[in-house]
Chains A and B, each alone.
Chain A
Amino acid sequence: MSESEQFEPSERAEAAERLRKAGYSEADVQREVSELEQKSATAARIFDLRRIIGGLFVVYGVIVTIAGLTDSDAEIDKAQGININLWTGLGMLALGIFFLAWLKLRPTAAPTPPPLPPEAAEAAERRD
Chain B
Amino acid sequence: MRTPTYLAAELRLPTNWLDYTILAIYFVVVLGIGFAARRSVKTSLDFFLSGRSLPAWITGLAFVSANLAATEILGMAANSAQYGAYTVHWYWIGAIPAMVFLGLVMMPFYYGSKVRSVPEFLLLRFDKGAHLLSSALFAFAAILISGVNLYALAIVVEALLGWPQWVAIVVAGFFVLAYITLGGLSSAIYNEVLQFFVILAALIPLTVLGLKKVGGWDGLTDSLTKSHGDDFVSAWGGTGIGSDNPLGANWLTIVLGLGFVLSFGYWTTNFAEVQRALSAKNLSAAQRTPLIAAFPKIFIVFLVMIPGLVAAVLVPNIGTPDSDLQYNDSIPYLMEQLLPNGVLGIAVTGLLAAFMAGMAANVSSFNTVFTNDIWAKYVVRGREDSYYVGFGRLITAIGVMASVGTAFLASSFSNIMSYLQTLFSFFNVPMFVVFIVGMFWKRASMKSGFWGLLAGTTAAMVNYFVLYKQDVIGIPTDQGANFVSAIAGFVAGAVVMVAVSLFTAPKPAEELEGLVYGTVSPGMAEPPAAGDDAWYRRPALLGWGAIILAAACYIPFSF
Chain A positions near chain B (C-beta within 8 angstroms): 22-26, 29-30, 33-34, 36-37, 39-47, 49, 52-53, 56-57, 59-60, 63-64, 67-68, 71, 75-76, 78-82, 84-85, 87-89, 91-92, 95, 111
Please name all residues of chain A whose beta carbon is closer than 8 Å to the beta carbon of B383 when the two chains form the complex: none
Question: Can you list 29 residue pairs at the A/B interface with Cβ under 8 Å?
Answer: A24-B124, A25-B124, A26-B514, A29-B124, A33-B114, A39-B45, A41-B43, A41-B46, A41-B51, A42-B53, A46-B186, A47-B36, A52-B33, A52-B190, A56-B194, A57-B201, A59-B25, A60-B346, A67-B341, A71-B340, A75-B341, A76-B340, A78-B339, A85-B340, A85-B343, A88-B204, A88-B343, A88-B346, A111-B53
B482 at the interface (CB under 8 A from A): no
Please provide the chain B residues from 18 to 69 with a CB less than 8 Å away from any CB of chain A in the complex.
Answer: 18, 21-22, 25-26, 29, 32-33, 36-37, 39-46, 50-54, 58
Chain B neighbourhood of A46, CB < 8 A = 37, 39-40, 50, 53-54, 186
A23–B128 CB distance below 8 A? yes
The chain B residues found within 8 Å of chain A, CB to CB, are: 18, 21-22, 25-26, 29, 32-33, 36-37, 39-46, 50-54, 58, 113-116, 120, 123-124, 127-128, 131, 186, 190, 193-194, 197, 201, 204-205, 208-209, 212-213, 281, 337-343, 346, 377, 385, 511, 513-515, 521-523
Residues of B close to A56: CB separation below 8 A: 25-26, 29, 194
> Do B58 and A49 touch (CB < 8 A)?
yes
The CB with the most chain B CB atoms within 10 A, among A57, A67, A68, A95, is that of A67
Q: Do residues A30 and B51 form an inter-chain contact, with CB atoms below 8 A?
A: no
CA distance A23 to B52 in the complex (A): 24
Q: Give complex CA distance A89, B339 in Å.
A: 13
Determine if B186 and A36 form an interchain contact, defined as CB atoms under 8 angstroms apart. no
Whether B342 and A53, one on each chain, are in contact in the complex, defined by CB atoms closer than 8 angstroms, is: no
A79 — which chain B residues lie within 8 A by C-beta? 209, 338-340, 343
Residue from the list A26, A41, A59, A92 in contact with B511, Cβ < 8 A: A26
Decide: B213 and A84 in contact? CB cutoff 8 A.
Answer: no
The answer to whether residues A33 and B25 also contact, given A85-B340, A91-B201 and a CB cut-off of 8 A, is no
Q: Are A92's CB and B201's CB within 8 A?
A: yes
Contact for A40 among B53, B204, B205, B340, CB less than 8 A: B53
**Do A41 and B25 form a contact, CB below 8 Å, given A30-B114, A84-B209?**
no
Which residue from chain A places its CB closest to the CB of B115 in the assembled complex? Answer: A29
For A75, A76, A85, which residue has the most chain B Cβ atoms within 10 angstroms?
A85
**Cross-chain contact of A37 among B52, B131, B190, B209 (Cβ < 8 A):** B52
Contacts of A57 in B (CB 8 A): 197, 201
Chain A residues, CB < 8 A from B515: 26
B53 x A82 contact (CB < 8 A):
no
Contact A84 B205 (CB under 8 A): yes
**Once the chains are docked, how many angstroms separate the CA of A53 from the CA of B212?**
30
**Which residues from chain B contact A39 at a C-beta distance below 8 Å?**
42-43, 45, 385
Alpha-carbon separation in the docked complex, A56 to B515 (Å): 43
A40 vs B521: C-alpha distance when bound (angstroms): 23
Residues of A within 8 A of B42 (CB): 39-41, 45
- What are the 6 closest A-B residue pairs judged by CB atoms, nearest first? A42-B51, A40-B51, A67-B342, A41-B42, A36-B45, A43-B53
Chain A residues with CB under 8 Å of B128's CB are 23
* Contact, CB under 8 Å: A26 / B513: yes
Complex Cα–Cα for A115 and B511 (A): 24
Partner of B212, one of A36, A80, A111: A80
Residues of A within 8 A of B377 (CB): 24
- Contact for B124 among A26, A60, A85, A95, CB less than 8 A: A26
- Chain A residues near B115: list those with CB within 8 A: 29
Contact of A95 among B36, B46, B197, B281 (CB under 8 A): B197
B503 to chain A, nearest CB (A): 21
Cα distance, A46 to B51, chains bound together (Å)? 10
A92 contact set on B, CB distance < 8 A: 201, 346
CB neighbours (8 Å) of B338 from chain A are 78-80, 84
Chain B residue nearest in CB terms to A92: B201
Q: Are B22's CB and A60's CB within 8 A? A: yes
Closest beta carbon of chain A to B322's beta carbon, Å: 26
Distance, CA A81 to CA B340, complexed state (A): 11
